[in-house]
Amino acid sequence: MRIEQKKQITEEIAVCLGDAETIYLTDFTGLNVGEMRELRGKLRESGASLRIVKNTLTIRALEGLDLPDLKEHLTGPTGLVLAGNDPAAPAKVMRDFAKEHEQRPVMKVGVVDRREVGPEEIKVLADLPPRSVLLGGIAGALTASVGGIVGSLNAVIRDIALLVEEVARKGEQQD
């Protein structure tokens, strides 16, 4: 590979790494081309991508980025899973794919919200319900709370209206 190509790839990876909110490093040893294609497709469906880049180029791309030092994990065959703000979706894809393919690929480390996470933390993320379900639960809880407040306010207004009506009736009776 020529120096110009290496520089271009390094710059490209630096941009991808800088833009990604979630990064997972995986060891894809033992997967054939067809399995890698299948994995890429499943990751794409979850909003993530898989990049295979030489470790030395990835190390250079990480220089100057506001990310944890991942050099010690960039040994052997390493795939970069790059995703947006939902770290659970690609973690689930990787977990499910590994179950079907003799525990391959293996998660090395991750970066979520610019913080390094280990394989055990990635497993916890994979076990979380999808982001949309979590957001739906939060919205439901907020709606229930607002509904309770609205019900309480309506009761107070109803009570005030009844009180005003009763005072008006008593006033008519005295006249």
Confidence of residue 158 (pLDDT cuts 50, 70, 90): confident
51, 54, 52, 80: which is closest to 67 by C-alpha?
A: 80
**131 pLDDT above the threshold of 90:** no
Question: What contacts 109, CB < 8 A, 6 or more positions away?
Answer: 24, 25, 70, 73, 116, 117, 118, 119
CATH topology of domain 3-128: Alpha-Beta Plaits (3.30.70)
Q: Please tell me the distance from the alpha carbon of residue 14 to that of residue 19, in angstroms, as a whole number.
A: 8
Ramachandran area for residue 114 (φ above 0: left; ψ -120 to 50: alpha; else beta): left
pLDDT band at 133 (very low <50, low <70, confident <90, very high): confident
Give the tens place of pLDDT for each residue, 35-73.
Answer: 999 999 999 999 999 999 999 999 999 998 999 999 999
Give residue-wise pLDDT tens across range 10-23.
999 999 999 999 99
Q: What is the pLDDT of residues 72-115, one digit of tens each?
A: 999 999 999 999 988 999 999 999 999 999 999 999 999 999 99
Mean predicted confidence (pLDDT) in 169-174? 76
Average pLDDT over residues 118-146: 82
Cβ distance 105 to 153 under 8 Å? no
- In this predicted structure, the answer to whether residue 162 has a pLDDT above a threshold of 80 is no
pTM of the entire structure?
A: 0.75
**Residue 112, pLDDT score:** 95
What's residue 155's pLDDT? 73
The reported pLDDT for the residue numbered 166 is: 77
The pLDDT of residue 175 is 63
**Residue with more model confidence, 4 or 134:** 4
